[in-house]
Amino acid sequence: MEERVTVALLLLLTISITAYHITDKHLLDLSSYQELLGARNFLEGKELSTSMLNRLTAAVYSFFSTGELNSSLLLTIAKVIPILLSLLSVVAFYFMLKQMLSPLASFAGAVFLLSSQAFLLKMSSGIYAHDSLGMCLFILACSSLFIFKLKKNYLLLILSSALFLLSSFGWDAGWVMPAAVTLSLLAEFIFQREKEYSSLAAVALASLISYLTTSPAIFSKTLTLNPLSLPTLPLLIIGAALLLAKAAGRYKCKGKFEFFTASIFIISVLLSNFDAFPASFGIALFSAFSINELLNLKEEKAVLAVFSLILLFVSFEFTKTFMKFEQSIIVSLFIAASSVFIVSLYRDRRINVYITFSLILLLLFSSVGVAALTQLRLSDVVGEQVDEMMEWAKELPEANFWAFRITPLLEFTSGKQGYGNDTEFAQFILSNQSVEFLKERNITHLVVDASMFDNIEMIKTIANNTKVRIDSFRLYGTQVDQNRNYYAVFVTADGKAAFVQYDPLTGNLLEGDVVIYMGEGRRTVPLKKFLRVGSYRLIYPQDNYRVNLFLLFFENVDGLKEVYTSETGEMKVFEVLG
């Protein structure tokens, strides 16, 4: 396949995956609005110290518009920039790999990077995260460095060093990734007895300056990676086995920079305990290395072993979705052993090539399939009633809003001020604190919606309040028993089910007992003890009638005046009086 065709295919695949949500009305991650507010405030002159991504976004916005700030245009730019950064990253990663591996392995590695969940959850059109620019600059730096190794153009080495330095300011990994490259190059030079140290010295200098000027936030993150869930896990195991064989003197690697690759991979696995995003770089690199070695295997027994390992993994990943763990293991072992036995009946050496390419295609499709499913499962986290409320909020002359989770979105869309402390919000909503709590924080409007009842366990965790017991039952469906009694089935987020008898002609719930199933037990509660919010939600407050969440929907809180209610009654806005 010609190089320009390969690049075109990578560009097409990248746009297809990362631009999936570009037409959505909102960003997919509400925390993205908090980041995007930095770009808006920078444009308005309210905030001069902001991230590199926000400065880039503001520069692009200023190029297209110089008039009154347009939130829709700024949001569109925020959706497009991650796509462009993804395109640059994937293509640069491909050209970096080409200096080390075969074209096919390089293409596979670029696809593995693009289709990894950690990569997509930072560099898709619905996500606006400052880490995306840092990753792009880092990959461009690595690509420039390895092209320099081939062409010995020292301008590329200077460019690489500058990009490493810039990347350290662009994401939470800070100096950690340039330092990882330095250590990995050092490992390569030690084991290979390289004589040319200019690249190591340049990257080491960039790493040192980065270390002195940046403070990585990566070690405080919780977005960890589970290596067992990776579609490329068999490749990682194979690559590790081949490197061990090389260390024992029983195998010679076909690609270049195997010690660099191994070192980056080990560091990435360690980093994955803190943040999966930067770790995706090293994992994709090592997967490409394994592909490159697989393409050059000629021993029939080795090919059959690889075939059985990957087939076992793929079979297990498929069967575990509908079988018990033990059954899935047994069936997967049987499938793998049977397939290897059948293949081993053919002694034609061409079977090696057939198996190798089949496995590569299988893993590529598997990885892209995971990426497609990831994008399909990401959905708009904002409903129509929130949009309607924000349109109403725009008409207010001055306001300082407080809402759970959506404060940055409300602030960005309406142009009003917001108070975004979700921990304090959870504490207030699950207590009976007075309106003075709001006045102390200069809050003029409080926003609540009925979905808080559904997420009560999460709110309790945030508030560190386990005493409150409120169950929210959402309508799930209907059932008819053998006596022709009709029941509406309501369920909670934690798996409780409530059966309420109803009239099939009118659809009205019938007075009487509600049967609640909880795990292996059951209890009955009179229907009159339940309260209704909207058409499809029953609230069982148990003995928590005095917490603010309950009072705001079913009674009142002194000092708060209801000034907005959605058509369904599920979203309310209260004005703080006095």
- The full set of domain ranges for the chain reads 3-298+349-377, 384-466+542-576, 471-540
Three-state secondary structure call for residue 477: strand
The side-by-side arrangement of strands in the sheet containing 417-418 is 417-418, 400-402, 445-449, 571-576, 560-565
Q: Residue 79: what pLDDT?
A: 92
Bin 45: left if φ > 0, else alpha if -120 < ψ < 50, else beta: left
Q: Which amino acid is at 133?
A: L
Q: Residue 142: what pLDDT?
A: 94
Q: Residue 386: what pLDDT?
A: 85
User: In the 8-state DSSP scheme, what is residue 533?
Assistant: -
Q: Which amino acid is at 441?
A: R
Rounded Cα distance between 340 and 577, Å, is 76
Q: Residue 420: what pLDDT?
A: 82
Q: Which two tokens stand for residue 358?
A: 């089949």
Q: Which two tokens stand for residue 43?
A: 């444009």
Q: Residue 546: what pLDDT?
A: 82
Half-sphere exposure for 100 (CA within 13 Å, toward CB)? 32
Mark out the alpha helices in 430-547 (DSSP H runs). 436-439, 451-454, 456-463
DSSP 475-501: EEEEEE-TT--EEEEEE-TTS-EEEEE
Rounded Cα distance between 225 and 18, Å, is 20
DSSP 94-141: HHHHHTTS-HHHHHHHHHHHHH-HHHHTTSSTT---THHHHHHHHHHH
Architecture of domain 384-466+542-576: 3-Layer(aba) Sandwich (3.40)
The pTM score is: 0.80
For the chain, helix, strand, coil in percent to 5 are 60, 10, 30
Q: Which residues have C-beta within 8 Å of that of residue 575, sequence separation ≥ 6? A: 444, 445, 560, 561, 563
Rounded Cα distance between 299 and 401, Å, is 68
Task: Label the pairing between strands 417-418 and 521-526.
Answer: unpaired
CB 228 within 8 A of CB 219: no
Rounded Cα distance between 188 and 177, Å, is 16
CB 339 within 8 A of CB 308: yes
Could you read off the pLDDT of 276-297 as tens digits, one per residue?
889 899 999 998 888 888 777 6
CB 473 within 8 A of CB 455: no
- What is the torsion angle, in degrees rounded to the nearest 10, for the CA atoms of residue 300, residue 301, residue 302 and residue 307? 90
Bin 415: left if φ > 0, else alpha if -120 < ψ < 50, else beta: left
CB 235 within 8 A of CB 285: no
Give the residue among 111, 130, 143 at the shortest CA–CA distance from 16. 111
CB 172 within 8 A of CB 135: no
Q: Which amino acid is at 192?
A: Q
Backbone angles phi, psi at 522, to 5 degrees: -150, 155
Could you read off the pLDDT of 218-261 as tens digits, one per residue?
666 655 555 545 666 777 777 777 777 777 777 777 767 888 88
Please report the sign of the dihedral spanned by the C-alpha atoms of residue 462, residue 226, residue 357, residue 142: positive
Q: Report residue 534 CA to chain centroid gap.
A: 32
Q: Residue 452: what pLDDT?
A: 87
pLDDT < 70 stretches in the chain? 1, 193-197, 218-232, 255, 297-304, 306-307, 311, 314, 317-318, 320-322, 339-382
Q: Residue 222: what pLDDT?
A: 56
CB 529 within 8 A of CB 540: yes
Three-state secondary structure call for residue 507: coil
Q: Residue 302: what pLDDT?
A: 66
Q: Residue 262: what pLDDT?
A: 87
Q: Which two tokens stand for residue 414?
A: 């309406």
Half-sphere exposure for 562 (CA within 13 Å, toward CB)? 15
Bridge partner residues of 565 (DSSP): 572
CB 435 within 8 A of CB 576: yes
Rounded Cα distance between 60 and 65, Å, is 9
Q: Residue 126: what pLDDT?
A: 85
- For the chain, the residue count is 578
Q: Residue 556: what pLDDT?
A: 86
Rounded Cα distance between 345 and 363, Å, is 25
CB 225 within 8 A of CB 272: yes
